[in-house]
């Protein structure tokens, strides 16, 4: 199969480019190193889905020194990525799309902002449509009185096509942590993916994907905060009909909650990030994906997650 017919995709929770300061504030160092790591991928990705990325806030400004007036975190990262490609002698191929989710404010000051981003290689793909102006909200509010305080969760959607007319729907999401208000949170050892609020969000996500893909090939990327074998994972792969790239390619067993970790905290290792797909998509490999803690990864130490990197093919557009 010719390499040029496959698409390469990356899904990565970058932790607001603030991992060096434990997420308290973003710094330019991780931003530039992540940009260089992405630029070093060969072939470089056609689609990059990022989670935990801001517009602009007190957190994203605090440790960064002076910014250009009006510069957002995504714009700053895009500039760093463009410089990384220039240093490598590569033409810069990306358009960036930011999907705003939530802002925590004190009076009129944004303390933190939350959102998703999708970068598209417009040298190979044409953007047909997107929901930047109105990303789909999937948040489940267990306690209604705290609705405005809870971090909103969304699903970003971009519809792309290659020059031959093959179409692909790209969905990017970040599901909530399990709610501590549920009794099971305190009575069972397994939590990530067992939260009733997470299962509610997974159902909302699956409905949105089915409605907008309309039978065309799709891929769903993101940080699901859910382990293999959890109710969320089982719902998505069994009831919703999503297929798991990691499961298909042997990176995980469907009931192994700790195998092949994609995230870590202290000594804990968890598989929380997933690449799901359907409607004629076929993943060829996950080359470049390395488990959390592997020091050989160019992304080592840059976030509390590692990127999932894979190549896929999809069938021609079906009417």
Q: Are 314 and 283 in contact (CB under 8 A)?
A: no
Q: Can you give the residue ranges of every domain in the chain? A: 3-314
CA distance 50 to 34: 11
How confident is the prediction along the chain (319 residues), in pLDDT tens digits per residue? 344 589 999 999 998 886 444 444 446 678 899 999 999 999 999 999 999 988 653 333 443 454 454 457 888 899 999 999 999 999 999 999 999 885 544 444 444 457 999 999 999 999 999 999 999 999 865 544 444 455 689 999 999 999 989 999 999 999 999 975 555 544 565 689 999 999 999 999 999 999 999 999 999 999 999 999 999 999 999 999 999 999 999 998 777 777 899 999 888 899 999 999 999 999 999 999 999 999 999 999 899 999 999 999 987 544 3
Instruction: State the CATH class of domain 3-314.
Output: alpha beta
Residue (of 130, 40, 23, 114) closest to 73 by Cα position? 114
């Amino acid at each position: 199969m010719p390499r040029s017919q496959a698409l390469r995709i990356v899904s990565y929770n970058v932790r607001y480019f603030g991992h060096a300061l434990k997420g308290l504030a973003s710094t330019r160092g991780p931003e530039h190193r992540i940009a260089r790591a992405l630029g070093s991928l060969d072939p470089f990705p056609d689609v990059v889905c990022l989670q935990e990325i801001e517009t602009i806030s007190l957190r994203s400004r605090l440790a960064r020194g002076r910014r250009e007036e009006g510069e957002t975190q995504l714009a700053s990262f895009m500039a760093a990525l463009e410089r990384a490609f220039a240093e490598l002698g590569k033409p810069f191929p990306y358009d960036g799309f930011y999907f705003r989710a939530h802002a925590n404010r004190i009076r009129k000051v944004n303390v933190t902002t939350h959102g998703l981003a999708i970068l598209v290689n417009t040298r190979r793909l044409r953007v047909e449509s997107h929901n930047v102006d109105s990303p789909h909200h999937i948040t489940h509010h267990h306690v209604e009185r705290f609705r405005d305080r809870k971090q909103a969760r969304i699903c970003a959607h971009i519809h792309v096509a290659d020059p031959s007319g093959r179409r692909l729907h790209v969905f990017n999401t970040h599901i909530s942590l399990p709610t501590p208000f549920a009794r099971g949170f305190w009575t069972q050892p397994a939590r990530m993916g067992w939260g009733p609020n997470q299962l509610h969000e997974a159902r909302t996500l699956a409905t949105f994907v089915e409605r907008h893909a309309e039978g065309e090939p799709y891929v769903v990327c993101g940080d699901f905060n859910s382990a293999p074998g959890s109710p969320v994972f089982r719902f998505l792969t069994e009831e919703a009909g999503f297929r798991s790239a990691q499961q298909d390619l042997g990176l995980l067993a469907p009931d192994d909650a700790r195998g092949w970790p994609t995230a870590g905290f202290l000594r804990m290792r968890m598989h929380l990030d997933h690449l799901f797909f359907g409607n004629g998509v076929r993943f060829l490999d996950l080359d470049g994906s390395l488990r959390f803690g592997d020091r050989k990864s160019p992304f080592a130490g840059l976030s509390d997650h590692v990127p999932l990197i894979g190549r896929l093919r999809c069938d021609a557009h079906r009417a």
